[in-house]
Amino acid sequence: MAGEKLVKSKQRVADHGEVFTPRWLVDDMLDLVKQEAERIDSRFLEPACGSGNFLVSVLERKLTAVQVRHGRSEFEKRHYALFGLMCIYGIELLEDNAKECRENLLGTFSQYLNVSADDEWSKAAKAVVAANIVQGDALKMATVDGEHITFAEWGYLGRGRYQRRDFRYDSLTQRASMQGTLFDAFEEHEIFRPVRTYQAMTVRELAS
């Protein structure tokens, strides 16, 4: 895309290796996993998400799928659009990038539903990205405060209700190490235990 800014400053490139991926390359890469990128409930994690170039493109593809499958019902369209956002995760070391990523995701979501920032759908989405886009170090699996990174696993239960369970990131990454071991035959719920489980909630409850 002409005019795209791929670096914020030479100093940030030197200090953090920060270079943003152009939109055309993002699209080419997502086309390699097209089926997953267009599935509403597929979960995507970008461990160095920057300002959200990849995640916004994934969200756009999910929202297109929402429109095709649920566009005739305003109720279902809105709830599945939020669920699509719930399935997008990011980790970013730099505070300004993490903030910009959240804002870009919120802007894409709000524009799709044509809602203002003070609408309860926008407020619910803001609560989601606050949980899903974490400022921290993906390699150390820790937040900037040195705490364990924790991600919310969201599920849509239907009829306008969502379920949230929180898992530690370092626990989730152990899944690959289970392959070929005694635990390989276990179901995920038998290995991974949430650190917190919430009561099912509505959009209004999320927004509050």
pLDDT at 34: 93
pLDDT at 22: 81
User: Higher pLDDT residue, 87 or 26?
Assistant: 87
Q: Where residue 144 falls among pLDDT bands split at 50, 70, 90?
A: very high
Q: Would you say 89 and 133 are in contact if contact means Cβ atoms under 8 Å apart?
A: yes
* Residue of 110, 200, 113 whose CA lies nearest to 159: 200
Q: How far apart are CA 109 and CA 70, in angstroms?
A: 15
**pLDDT higher than threshold 70 for residue 12:** no
Instruction: Collapse the DSSP code of 19 into the 3-class scheme (helix H, G, I; strand E, B; otherwise coil) and give the result.
Output: coil
**pLDDT higher than threshold 80 for residue 191:** no
Domain ranges of the chain: 10-207
* Residue of 98, 27, 90 whose CA lies nearest to 57: 27
Q: Where residue 15 falls among pLDDT bands split at 50, 70, 90?
A: very low
Q: Where residue 175 falls among pLDDT bands split at 50, 70, 90?
A: low
Q: Where residue 21 falls among pLDDT bands split at 50, 70, 90?
A: confident
Question: pLDDT tens for residues 29-78?
Answer: 999 999 999 999 999 999 999 999 999 999 999 999 999 999 999 999 99
104: number of Cβ within 10 Å: 20
User: Higher pLDDT residue, 82 or 4?
Assistant: 82
Q: How far apart are CA 165 and CA 152, in angstroms?
A: 6
Percent pLDDT > 90 in the chain is: 76
Percent pLDDT > 70 in the chain is: 82
